[in-house]
Amino acid sequence: MDSRKNGYIYYDYRKKSEKEEIAETAWKSVYHWLYFIVGVLFVVSVLMTAFCRVVSVNGDSMLPTLNSGDKILVYSFFYRPEQGDIVMVTTNQEDRYPLLKRVIALEGQTVEVDYKAGTVKVDGKVLNEDYLFEKMTAESNNEITYPYTVPEDCVFLMGDNRNESQDSRNENIGCFDVRYILGKAVFRLYPFSDRNIYDCR
């Protein structure tokens, strides 16, 4: 920009050229978008921490529903266990490796396991367990006595791979306190398959 006065040309170095103004506007736009994206990511991360988490499956006790190494989305916000749910649970607050098991019975319900027939009864009704890896054959040395009534504020959990699962059938493990349930497995993030967790109830 220049101005003419008394025949002289004066350049105003304080004023920016059109290209400079366009570049400055573009950088401001990029900055605002980056600021917005960082803010959104922060909010999402807080919500993810409060409401759900992503965990990796460790071990084969939930075959064929879940494979070791699967990435699972676990929902935890105000969750209350229901029969048939797959839950992530610890045995205490110090556990480094939470377990993934299926809810077989809730407090007050009675469980009976028949290894000869390969069936599980809850309150006298045989469960339809088409999600099992194979028929149950291995009764543990520390098997609980059936029929077994689930204590108050507890759940009876079993793995889908019954012959390779350490779960509530073992008296050394027993039922799990609902306070130590960290959430419900709701979706397989990786690898995605046609038969997802919702189909295995």
DSSP assignment of 81-138 equals: --TT-EEEE-SSTT-SS-EEEEEEE-TT-EEEEETTTTEEEETTEE---TT-SS----
Nearest to 60, CA basis, from 154, 117, 134, 137: 134
- Run of H or E residues at 20: helix 18-51
Q: Which residue has the higher pLDDT, 200 or 136?
A: 136
Average pLDDT of the chain is 83
> What per-residue confidence (pLDDT) applies to 2?
46
The answer regarding whether domain 81-182 maps to CATH 2.10.109.10 reads yes
Tell me the pLDDT tens digit for each residue of 3-28: 555 555 555 555 566 666 776 777 77
pLDDT category, 68, cuts 50, 70, 90? Answer: very high
> What per-residue confidence (pLDDT) applies to 34?
83
Compute the distance between CA of residue 197 and CA of residue 84 in angstroms, rounded to an integer: 11
Tell me the pLDDT tens digit for each residue of 159-190: 999 999 999 999 999 999 999 999 999 988 88
Q: Which active-site residues does the annotation give?
A: 61, 101
- 8 A C-beta contact, residue 162 and residue 132: yes
Predicted TM-score (pTM) of the model is 0.74
Q: Which residue has the higher pLDDT, 154 or 55?
A: 154
Q: What is the mean pLDDT of residues 138-155?
A: 91
> What per-residue confidence (pLDDT) applies to 51?
74
> What per-residue confidence (pLDDT) applies to 156?
98
Task: Name the DSSP class of 166.
Answer: -
Parse the chain into domains and list their residue ranges: 2-50, 81-182
pLDDT of 70 above 60:
yes
> What per-residue confidence (pLDDT) applies to 160?
95
Chain position carrying tokens 């978008």: 33
pLDDT of 151 above 90:
yes
Task: Give the number of C-alpha atoms closer than 13 A to the C-alpha of residue 19, restricted to the C-beta side.
Answer: 0
User: In sequence order, what DSSP letters do the residues of 28-90 get, joined into one string?
Assistant: HHHHHHHHHHHHHHHHHHHHHHHHEEEEE--SSTTTTTS-TT-EEEEE-TT----TT-EEEE-
Tell me the pLDDT tens digit for each residue of 74-110: 988 889 999 999 999 987 655 557 899 999 999 999 9
pLDDT of 50 above 70:
no
- 8 A C-beta contact, residue 54 and residue 71: yes
